[in-house]
Homo-oligomer: A and B are copies of this chain.
């Protein structure tokens, strides 16, 4: 059996110190240390490849205290918004030489807390979390023991946050519906979590237009990540007999379900009822009719979140990052 190739063998073959070989192979350089030339890095990597060197992750973890792995924490992957966000974060982390491990919280507040507090994320150097239910009281004044960046949702005390302009995005959608002459605009809302600023924007746009808000037009339901929720909530709204000429949905998944319910009821979109979503999923782009939606700037958010996390990993204080701008995308479901 062959002797295991060790880091010192690689260093010797490349003509560098063991420390330099380690830095070149880790794919990461801690802030403050000397940067290696691309040439040195290449030489070390070539030597590692030639010798068939495979680092021991566990040993490396003990030496550097770093795993090179970031926990990506999302409620689920069945909501296209979350699978898209997770994919973007994985790719963005890879650009920084970081790997990812995924935790699905399934909308459980305690799972979100345990991820932020390092209970379920001990195997990671940091956490990127897209929370649904995280609240200050869950952390009970404690600070996360490892770098954490929250993407979206309500701010959490002691946690860096990258947000999208939820109010601005929803306002653009609501104003678009008002401008196209709709007056009986229903809102399918998640009261808790993402619903907040979006619902506020809806109310603001109605008030601005001098339209009386009718509480019968606010629809709530369970599990706003499922198309089924949009389907069932829309059926409920239709059965209630309340008249509406537009349906502003808190996300694309719900809007896709709403489109199906309206179609089954023989209601023409957008002629009888205009529909808008939020998230700009590819699914909405390919829906029939194609879905008017708000682009949340996922790429910009993911980039900002990873940069903020990397700064924390390098021991820099994180600055409160700016909100990513949102963009209204008008398609067939509302024109």
- Chain A residues near B (Cβ < 8 Å): 54-59, 61-62, 65, 67-69, 76-78, 80, 83-84, 86-87, 90-91, 99-102, 104, 118-119, 122-123, 227, 231, 256-257, 259-260, 263, 282-283, 285-288
CB-based contact B67/A78 at 8 Å: no
Q: For residue A104, which residues in chain B have a CB less than 8 angstroms away from its CB?
A: 87, 90-91
CB-based contact A87/B76 at 8 Å: yes
A-B contact pairs, 12 of them (CB 8 A): A54-B119, A59-B62, A77-B83, A77-B87, A77-B90, A78-B83, A83-B83, A87-B104, A227-B286, A259-B286, A259-B288, A287-B287
CB-based contact B286/A288 at 8 Å: no
CB-based contact B102/A54 at 8 Å: no
Q: How far is the CA of A280 from the CA of B227 in the complex (A)?
A: 15
Q: For residue A84, which residues in chain B have a CB less than 8 angstroms away from its CB?
A: 77-78
CB-based contact B77/A77 at 8 Å: yes
Q: For residue A61, which residues in chain B have a CB less than 8 angstroms away from its CB?
A: 57-58, 61
Q: For residue A230, which residue of chain B has the nearest CB?
A: B286
Query: 16 more A-B contacts (CB under 8 A) besides A101-B102, A227-B282, A260-B286?
Result: A54-B122, A57-B67, A57-B122, A57-B123, A58-B58, A58-B61, A58-B62, A69-B101, A69-B123, A80-B83, A83-B83, A99-B101, A102-B102, A231-B286, A256-B283, A263-B288
Q: How far is the CA of A65 from the CA of B54 in the complex (A)?
A: 15
Q: For residue A58, which residues in chain B have a CB less than 8 angstroms away from its CB?
A: 58, 61-62, 65, 67
CB-based contact A55/B122 at 8 Å: yes
